[in-house]
């Protein structure tokens, strides 16, 4: 009997790949725009963009051109030399975020590790015992030993005890709990402007104002983990740009971290710090051999060019509002919905009960979505998805919800 191309690859995978991912039995072979195709030729509308990585969809011509042009010139020289694409990306961040300086690595967790190291350097420059980090329950910051200690989800930590010391979590928005955890040894507070893995919970701007006030008063470094919320996904360049004080001023962090979308599907992480704090990271304190390699940097800076040129930040905001309104009005799914929340094209649909095999049932209908925290459906399509594809995708999402 002749095996299908997929089942042959799945059999080989079972022999040689570690089973740390709950992979679906589908082999993807090709992508274009907001669509991907599997080895059997089935087509899917991609409303999750590879955990947000493919912010401009698949095989974007401008990104192919950027990668190809750079690949033909220079791949890697190491960070003992300068290369222009790093400078261009850092200039882009200065234009779209705030005045700062950049360090480049490969992933969100590495960016967070670098941020916590820098916060400790800053803390210990004034008090040798200023070393602790406070984060929040339901947060996710990555899977290194330190970042699982920072992550506010017991399941992520289980089996890896004892935890790296110096990390404590409190509830998001709980000022009393926070003040109970604050002492002179706290060097950093790390927070996601919208908690992603935890179930799409946006930070209240008033809470952000308080965080900023506390950090200023106690010389604590405020870190925004924008690994999910960066690069236009939320309908602003960065998710923190929704966090405004009573005068309408954006509540800025001391350090911003990026991953996922900033590489467009390539491995890029960024730690971006206010210049006076960044100045503490002198030679010998931190590094990353392939971090900032010219191919990734050229793609990354081109992502910013395309988002600006095509005004995709506004597009994400408009399509997000439209999508949430459409889902809220759908009578056939209303009895199953506990709440719909999000910003731009980062949307959580909380169901009243955990759905049975929803991801699989959606795939059968030709749409890729994700479920987190057992009953929150997450939608995070490429931010350049057309209105037509978004509408088709939303219809399929609603049909899938109705069917479970």
CA atoms within 13 A on the CB side of 244: 7
Instruction: For ligand PLP, give the closer residue by CB, 37 or 51.
Output: 51
- Helical packing angle, 294-309 and 61-71, nearest 10°: 150
- Tell the smallest beta-carbon distance from residue 230 to ligand PLP (Å): 10
Instruction: For ligand PLP, give the closer residue by CB, 207 or 228.
Output: 228
Instruction: For ligand PLP, give the closer residue by CB, 142 or 342.
Output: 142
Instruction: For ligand PLP, give the closer residue by CB, 192 or 389.
Output: 192
List the beta strands (DSSP E) in 184-300. 186-191, 194-195, 201-202, 221-225, 255-258, 269-273
Q: How far is CA 292 from CA 103, 193, 233, 268, 279, in A?
A: 8, 25, 22, 8, 18
Q: How far is CA 241 from CA 20, 185, 234, 235, in A?
A: 35, 29, 10, 10
Nearest 5°: phi and psi at 83? -135, 145
Instruction: For ligand PLP, give the closer residue by CB, 109 or 394.
Output: 109
Instruction: For ligand PLP, give the closer residue by CB, 133 or 400.
Output: 133
Q: How far is CA 140 from CA 135, 198, 276, in A?
A: 9, 7, 27
DSSP letter at 259 equals: -
Cβ–Cβ under 8 Å, residues 254 and 222: yes
- Tell the smallest beta-carbon distance from residue 116 to ligand PLP (Å): 12
C-alpha 148, offset from chain centre? 16
Cβ–Cβ under 8 Å, residues 301 and 95: no
Instruction: For ligand PLP, give the closer residue by CB, 227 or 303.
Output: 227
Show Cβ contacts of residue 220 under 8 Å, excluding neighbours closer than 6 positions: 119, 123, 186, 187, 188, 189, 214
Instruction: For ligand PLP, give the closer residue by CB, 144 or 391.
Output: 144
- Tell the smallest beta-carbon distance from residue 159 to ligand PLP (Å): 18
**How far apart, in Å, do the first and last CA atoms of the chain sit?**
35
- Tell the smallest beta-carbon distance from residue 225 to ligand PLP (Å): 5
Instruction: For ligand PLP, give the closer residue by CB, 173 or 366.
Output: 173
- Tell the smallest beta-carbon distance from residue 52 to ligand PLP (Å): 8
- Tell the smallest beta-carbon distance from residue 21 to ligand PLP (Å): 12
- Tell the smallest beta-carbon distance from residue 109 to ligand PLP (Å): 3
Cβ–Cβ under 8 Å, residues 27 and 10: yes
Name the residue number minimizing CB distance to ligand PLP: 108
- Tell the smallest beta-carbon distance from residue 364 to ligand PLP (Å): 26
Show Cβ contacts of residue 395 under 8 Å, excluding neighbours closer than 6 positions: none
Instruction: For ligand PLP, give the closer residue by CB, 33 or 198.
Output: 198
- Tell the smallest beta-carbon distance from residue 203 to ligand PLP (Å): 12
Of 158, 155, 153, 130, nearest in space to 141 by CA: 153
- Tell the smallest beta-carbon distance from residue 388 to ligand PLP (Å): 29
The strand pairing partners of 372, in sequence order, are 376
Binding site for ligand PLP (CB under 6 A): 51, 107-109, 112, 140-142, 192, 196-197, 225, 227-228, 259
């Amino acid at each position: 009997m002749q095996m299908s191309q997929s089942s042959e690859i799945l059999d080989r995978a079972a022999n040689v790949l570690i089973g740390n991912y709950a992979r679906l039995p589908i082999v993807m072979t090709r992508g274009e725009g907001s669509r991907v195709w599997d080895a059997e030729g089935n087509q899917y509308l991609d409303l999750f963009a590879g955990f947000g990585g493919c912010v401009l969809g698949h095989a974007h011509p401008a990104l192919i051109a950027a990668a190809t042009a750079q690949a033909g010139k220079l791949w890697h020289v190491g960070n003992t030399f300068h290369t222009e694409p790093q400078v261009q990306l850092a200039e882009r961040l200065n234009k779209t975020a705030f005045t700062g300086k950049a360090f480049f690595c490969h992933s969100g967790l590495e960016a967070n590790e670098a941020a916590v190291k820098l916060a400790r350097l800053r803390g210990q420059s004034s008090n040798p015992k200023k070393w602790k980090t406070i984060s929040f329950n339901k947060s996710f910051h990555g899977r290194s030993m330190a970042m699982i200690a920072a992550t506010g989800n017991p399941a992520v930590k289980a089996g890896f005890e004892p935890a790296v010391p110096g990390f404590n979590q409190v509830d998001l928005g709980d000022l009393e709990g926070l003040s109970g955890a604050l002492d002179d040894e706290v060097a950093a507070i790390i927070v996601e402007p919208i908690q992603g893995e935890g179930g799409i919970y946006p930070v209240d701007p008033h809470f952000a104002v308080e965080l900023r006030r506390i950090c200023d008063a106690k010389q604590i470094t405020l870190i925004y983990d924008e690994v999910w919320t960066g690069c236009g996904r939320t309908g602003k360049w960065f998710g923190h740009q929704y966090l405004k004080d009573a005068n309408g001023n954006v509540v800025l962090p001391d350090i911003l971290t990026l991953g996922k979308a900033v590489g467009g599907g390539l491995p890029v992480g960024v730690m971006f710090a206010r210049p006076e704090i960044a100045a503490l990271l002198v030679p010998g304190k931190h590094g990353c051999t392939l971090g900032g390699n010219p191919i990734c940097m050229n793609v990354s800076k081109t992502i910013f060019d395309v988002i600006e040129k095509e005004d995709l930040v506004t597009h994400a905001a408009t399509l997000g509002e439209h999508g949430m309104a459409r889902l809220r009005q759908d009578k056939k799914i209303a009895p199953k919905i506990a709440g719909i929340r999000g910003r731009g094209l980062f949307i959580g649909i909380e169901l009243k009960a955990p759905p049975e095999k929803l991801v699989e049932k959606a795939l059968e209908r030709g749409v890729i979505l994700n479920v987190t925290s057992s009953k929150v459906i997450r939608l995070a399509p490429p931010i350049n998805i057309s209105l037509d594809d978004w509408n088709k995708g939303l219809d399929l999402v609603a049909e899938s919800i109705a069917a479970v």
